[in-house]
Amino acid sequence: MHRVWFITGASSGFGRALAEAVLTRGDSAVVSARRKDALDRLAIAHAQSALAIGLDVTDAEARSKAVEAALARFGRIDVLANIAGRGSLGAAEEFEPEQLRDQMEVNFFAAAEMTRAVLPAMRAQRSGHILQLTSIGGLVSIGGFGPYCASKFALEGWSEALRDEVKPHGVRVTIVEPGAFRTEFAGPANMRPARRLDAYRPVIDPIEAYLYGGDGKQPGDPAKAAEAMIAVVESDDPPLRLLLGADAIGLLEQKQAAFSAELARWRQIGEATGFKGVDAAPIGG
């Protein structure tokens, strides 16, 4: 089946790997990024099937025009891959309020609004697949990654609800949660806090050594991640969540074990908070 993909953040990392993979296999793709010049070579190599667009995903007008251009060129959008995003590392108290809002704007609001911009076309064609790139940091938060994980947790919750809403319209949703991959996550685009507080060095310094010291040596291969995302889109029964990397899977398993143990320890107190004689109905009906 020939598909039309709309990929944000296609100039590097996961976005670039996914764009190259889908174009090589013969699909069409709208490839977008802030740096359009980084997309030109890809667009030239696939002149008949690629449309390169310079796109700041936080710009509402630019998002609308990009979707219009995609539909004008290809007539449909089968897959929206929200890949664009930005990382950060630092203690919660070290960031300025504007930095926290910027993190949410790029990683959550932009992806949510990009999705909303594409949904009318997908509902009209009664088909589509939305890939939301979050992170294992969308399921597990670690000291030093609070702002980043908050933005990814938000996109996870929003996308899980979205899955229920769009399923009757033939639209699927998959949340992609990678661990450490060789992308630009730890590069200059990674947001550093406005100040450094000595009080947090014992917690933050080891995390900085892990992230910045391991850049270029991460175990994850973006090209293989791209193939996994394509496999999800081609599946007749795609998952809501796709964890990528043994490190991501292992970290989630640790959290699940700790959560189960804590729940068992405090369950009786939690269940005893209801009114007597009133049964607890399932949340959501």
Q: Where does the pLDDT of residue 283 fall: very low under 50, low under 70, confident under 90, or very high at 90 and above?
A: confident
The predicted pLDDT at position 226 comes to 98
The predicted pLDDT at position 188 comes to 85
Stretch 142-154: mean pLDDT? 97
The predicted pLDDT at position 195 comes to 96
What pLDDT digit, counting tens, does each position of 96-143 carry?
A: 999 999 999 999 999 999 999 999 999 999 999 999 999 999 999 999
Instruction: Tell me if residue 210 is catalytic.
Output: no
230-to-79, 85, 130 alpha-carbon distances in Å: 10, 20, 12
The predicted pLDDT at position 1 comes to 83
Residue 214 has pLDDT above 90, yes or no: no
Q: Where does the pLDDT of residue 232 fall: very low under 50, low under 70, confident under 90, or very high at 90 and above?
A: very high
Stretch 53-71: mean pLDDT? 97
Q: Any residues with CB less than 8 A from the CB of 231 and at least 6 apart, and which?
A: none
- Percentage of residues of the chain with pLDDT beyond 70: 100
- 232 vs 214: which has the higher pLDDT: 232
pTM: 0.95
- 172 vs 279: which has the higher pLDDT: 172
12-to-83, 165, 184, 224 alpha-carbon distances in Å: 10, 32, 7, 15
Residue 186 has pLDDT above 90, yes or no: no
Q: Where does the pLDDT of residue 51 fall: very low under 50, low under 70, confident under 90, or very high at 90 and above?
A: very high
Residue 60 has pLDDT above 90, yes or no: yes
Residue 55 has pLDDT above 90, yes or no: yes
Stretch 63-86: mean pLDDT? 98
Q: Any residues with CB less than 8 A from the CB of 278 and at least 6 apart, and which?
A: none
DSSP string for 190-234: SBPPS---GGGHHHHHHHHHHHHHTTT--SB-HHHHHHHHHHHHH
What pLDDT digit, counting tens, does each position of 193-204 carry?
A: 999 999 999 999
Stretch 216-244: mean pLDDT? 97
CA 190 – CA 185 distance, rounded (Å): 6
**Catalytic position from the list 148, 200, 210, 212:** 148
Q: Where does the pLDDT of residue 35 fall: very low under 50, low under 70, confident under 90, or very high at 90 and above?
A: confident
The predicted pLDDT at position 216 comes to 86
CA 42 – CA 156 distance, rounded (Å): 31
Q: Which two tokens stand for residue 275?
A: 């009114």
CA 208 – CA 203 distance, rounded (Å): 9
Residue 74 has pLDDT above 80, yes or no: yes
- Among residues 161, 134, 169, the alpha carbon closest in space to that of 148 is found at 134
Residue 285 has pLDDT above 80, yes or no: no
Stretch 243-259: mean pLDDT? 98
What pLDDT digit, counting tens, does each position of 77-104 carry?
A: 999 999 999 999 999 999 999 999 999 9
